[in-house]
Structure 1
Amino acid sequence: MTTWQAIILAIVEGLTEFLPVSSTGHMIIASSLMGINELPITKVFEVNIQFGAILSVVVLYWRRFIQGLDFYKKLLLAFIPAVVFGFALGDIIDAMLESVVITAVMLVLGGIVLLFVDKWFRNADKDWVNYKNALIIGLFQCIAMIPGVSRSAASIIGGMTQGVNRKAAAEFSFFLAVPTMLAAAGYKFVTDLLGLEISDLITFDLVKIENSFAAIQSEEITLLLIGNFVAFIVAMLAIKFFISFLTKYGFKLFGYYRIALGVLILTLLALGVDLTV
């Protein structure tokens, strides 16, 4: 992976992570088009640059993160389903992440849903999330383990099914992204980049941990630092745009975009175009 390829992927991550268009799907497509989707560093990079996106949420909403224990209890409750399903279905999820077809199909199906979300939940007007709402949002978020679904879209729609308005549901989705993406990025960093098992950290096998860090190439660290910085800046801009746009116009435009992109990819695949080159 070159520096420019890393920057392109980081821009894609920052732009799409908090929009209801599937950041995972876009990065799978982007890495496939650049011919780097099979590289081991790519899989680690795509997950770990989420640290930058996470930081953008914390910086923009820092006041919310010092509100008190109740805020964190709701986040924990919403986060638990992702932990359970993530560990239970890890191999299946990894297999789906390899498929551009699944990504394209889910982009289309998710886009169709977004065309009608505003109409279905036009009476959603709560500007707060209670414990029951938090748990249901967390369950909806698990649907996004299928590439192309969009974690943002799934969790926001989950909130709206509970009567939470678009703005409040979107902001809770941002907050929930922090523990969810932190866990995913941290797990991939430990297992894929360091080559460690979680048990190595639990038992604190210091020799093995030190050797793993020593084996990391400086080029990999440089790419990750650049990627996280770019993702942080772009994600901050994307969040500000999304909240403003969503409040005024709703989801329909995102739905049309998803459908168009998904259909384009499926058409190219049907014509025999190799999207991995």
Structure 2
Amino acid sequence: MPILLLVIILGIVEGVTEFLPVSSTGHLILATELLGFNAEEWAVFNIAIQPGAILAIVVLYWRTFRDVLIGMFKASPDAWRFIRNIGVAFVPAVVLGVALGDRIDLLLGNAVVVAWALILGGVAILAIERFATTTDRGGVANVTFLHSVGIGLVQCLAMIPGVSRSGATILGAMGMGVDRKTAAEFSFFLAVPTLSGATVYQLFKHWDAIPEGQLGWIGLGSIVSFVVAYVVVKAFMAIVTRYGFGPFAWYRIAAGAAALVWLSMR
């Protein structure tokens, strides 16, 4: 398969899956393996194209970012609570990401780990959807300090490929009583510093290991992921509002099971 086609496919996969509770990293690993490439050689690429998806959130929610920025200079309590909540939730990922970076890298090419994580994550989503009792918080600024700490800790589970960062944060927030809409938006906004930090860290750490010519492919993959993520995020909120997270749970279970069967037959 031509590298150009692989890059476009991986960019589409990143854009589709980054903000859905299905694990973008897991899908990128499986897609790379399925298309006949070594997932370990494309591990940095898969992380480096995340800025495209991040930019989609910034563009879609630019009014929120603008209002928070203006509110900070006007000493708005809502703006500062927003910053506090996102900042507090971001810290655990920084600490554990640096502390466990080498061990995390070892998992980034392990398709079997991804498959099992997809299945177990799907079961967890069904359980939370069934038993969680939530209350309308009215926005990220109104989430409590302790809930923000909890969301940040739950996000760290996504360091295991296949768990899903968005799934962990959204369902973790719901498990703590946060309503679906606020939980989803908290996950979107938390993605901006988390994914940005992960991208910078991985590029800095593995700059010399990036294959020659792959930087240009990273740029193209980022553009593709931006366009796709922009469309997907808008549709995601409508789907979740109407159907909940059940469809994504069943998809995870089916995809994980299919991956295990395929991996065992290779």
Q: Is TM (by shorter chain) over 0.5?
A: yes
Letter in 2 for 1:51: P
Deviations along 1:17-58, whole A, 9 cap, x unmatched? Answer: 000000010000001112223563x12210011000000001
Provide structure 2 residue ranges, at least 5 long, that are not aligned to the other structure. 73-79
Per-residue deviation at 1:163? Answer: 1.6
Other-structure match for 2:85: 74
Give 1 or 2: higher helix fraction: 2
Other-structure match for 1:183: 197
Taking structure 1 as the reference length, what is the TM-score of the superposition? 0.86
> What SS is found at the alignment partner of 1:63?
helix
| Runs of 4+ displaced beyond 6 Å | none
Deviations along 1:151-174, whole A, 9 cap, x unmatched? Answer: 001001121122211011001100
Other-structure match for 1:105: 116
Per-residue deviation at 1:191? Answer: 2.0
Residue of 162, 173, 179 corresponding to 1:159: 173
Asked if the contact 2:134/2:178 (under 8 Å) is kept, the reply is: no
Identity, % of aligned positions: 47
Letter in 1 for 2:154: F
Other-structure match for 1:265: 259
Asked if the contact 1:111/1:255 (under 8 Å) is kept, the reply is: yes
Residue of 100, 107, 110 corresponding to 1:89: 100
- Mapped to 2, the partners of 1:147 and 1:53 lie a distance apart of 18
Residue of 233, 236, 249 corresponding to 1:239: 233
Asked if the contact 1:44/1:192 (under 8 Å) is kept, the reply is: yes
Q: Which moved more, 1:157-166 or 1:55-64?
A: 157-166
Compared CA separation, residues 12 and 216, structure 1 to 2 (3 A): closer
- Mapped to 2, the partners of 1:63 and 1:152 lie a distance apart of 22
Deviations along 1:225-258, whole A, 9 cap, x unmatched? Answer: 1111100000011101111111111011111100
- Mapped to 1, the partners of 2:123 and 2:40 lie a distance apart of 33
- Mapped to 2, the partners of 1:9 and 1:167 lie a distance apart of 28
Per-residue deviation at 1:184? Answer: 0.6
Asked if the contact 1:193/1:216 (under 8 Å) is kept, the reply is: no
- Mapped to 2, the partners of 1:130 and 1:222 lie a distance apart of 42
Compared CA separation, residues 62 and 139, structure 1 to 2 (3 A): same
Per-residue deviation at 1:61? Answer: 0.6
- Mapped to 1, the partners of 2:39 and 2:232 lie a distance apart of 28
Per-residue deviation at 1:100? Answer: 0.8
Compared CA separation, residues 223 and 62, structure 1 to 2 (3 A): same
Per-residue deviation at 1:266? Answer: 1.1
Other-structure match for 1:203: none
Other-structure match for 1:29: 30
Deviations along 1:100-142, whole A, 9 cap, x unmatched? Answer: 1111001000111112222212433323323222111111100
Other-structure match for 1:3: 4
Compared CA separation, residues 216 and 264, structure 1 to 2 (3 A): closer
- Mapped to 2, the partners of 1:159 and 1:54 lie a distance apart of 21
Other-structure match for 1:202: none
- Mapped to 2, the partners of 1:143 and 1:249 lie a distance apart of 25
Deviations along 1:168-197, whole A, 9 cap, x unmatched? Answer: 1001100000000001111112221256xx
* Count of equivalent residues: 251
Asked if the contact 2:40/2:108 (under 8 Å) is kept, the reply is: no
Q: Which moved more, 1:112-121 or 1:144-153?
A: 112-121
Other-structure match for 2:77: none
Compared CA separation, residues 34 and 216, structure 1 to 2 (3 A): closer
Residue of 133, 139, 144 corresponding to 1:130: 144
Letter in 2 for 1:230: V
Other-structure match for 2:14: 13
Taking structure 2 as the reference length, what is the TM-score of the superposition? 0.89
Map 1:47-66 onto structure 2 (within 5 A).
47-66=47-66
Asked if the contact 1:144/1:151 (under 8 Å) is kept, the reply is: yes
Q: RMSD of the alignment, in Å?
A: 1.7
Compared CA separation, residues 260 and 60, structure 1 to 2 (3 A): same
Other-structure match for 1:173: 187
Provide structure 1 residue ranges, at least 5 long, that are not aligned to the other structure. 196-214
Asked if the contact 2:128/2:175 (under 8 Å) is kept, the reply is: no
